Amino acid sequence: FGSRASRAIHVASTDSFKSLSSQVMVKGNFSVDPSLEAKMHQYQIVGRAAPTNKNPTPKIYRMRIFARNVVLAKSRFWYFMKRLNKAKKSGGELLAVNELFDTSPTKVKNYGIWLRYDSRTNTHNMYKEFRNININGAVGQLYQEMAGRHRADPGSIQIIHAATVSDENCRREHVLEMHDKGLKFPIVRKIPNTIKKLRTTFKAKRPNTFVR
């Protein structure tokens, strides 16, 4: 019975691997799995607590929320509203929900993001910089880095502010090194591979695999 069960598990795992590889590989080329890159959207949500006899004109709040879809953005809005003035979804109303887009999504820019997140021991404030063509991509990079480098739960990350940063005001080294006007990247493997019958183990002259 044990060998039969192990054989069934092996067949199931092989079938799942084939189905996974068929999704990832297309005609020998690797395609990015959509689940590995979270597509973020920027929403502007305006809402308030429901009017009552005691407070007929409650204060209106407007927030910029980053989320994967509008449903999660609304949930995040009420999460912050409950902390601000104890207004819940059942006791409040949304006045406007709009998605915001960048004016120049084809130009690479520097983005600075101020955030707060909860670790396993404490709450931390943080500032990070990214380079991307739009702010949604920069926030997506932020969530990937916070998960990999800090093991932060996405639900515990609170983005306080996100804005474009000029080259003079950038602080992080990995962003500053991209501001050099004479920046060059070597073209690796420019020389084509030699056919198999002409290959040798030793050569009298070391080949150059990059362009000088």
- Positive or negative: CA dihedral 71, 72, 73, 78: positive
Model pLDDT for residues 105-162, shown as the tens digit of each residue: 889 999 999 999 999 999 999 999 999 999 999 999 999 999 999 999 999 999 999 9
What the block records as the tokens of 55 is 């407070």
pLDDT at residue 210 in the model: 62
Model pLDDT for residues 50-108, shown as the tens digit of each residue: 999 999 999 999 999 999 999 999 999 999 999 998 899 999 999 999 999 998 888 99
What the block records as the tokens of 70 is 């509008």
How many helices (H) and strands (E) the chain has is answered by: 4, 8
Model pLDDT for residues 185-201, shown as the tens digit of each residue: 877 766 667 788 888 88
Q: Is pLDDT at 6 greater than 90 in this prediction?
A: no
Q: What is the side-by-side order of every strand in the sheet holding 123-132?
A: 123-132, 109-118, 158-165
pLDDT at residue 186 in the model: 75
